[in-house]
Amino acid sequence: MTTIQTLDRTLALRCKRACAEGRSITVRYESSGGWNRLTGMVQSVRPLKVNRFKPLWEITIVDQR
Q: Is 45 exposed, middle or buried (0-12, 13-18, 19+ CB in 10 A)?
A: buried
pLDDT at 63 over 90: no
pLDDT tens, 8-21? 889 999 999 999 99
Q: Which residue has the higher pLDDT, 34 or 52?
A: 34
Show me where the domains of the chain are located: 2-63
pLDDT at 64 over 90: no
In sequence order, the 6+-apart residues with CB closer than 8 A to the CB of 65 are none
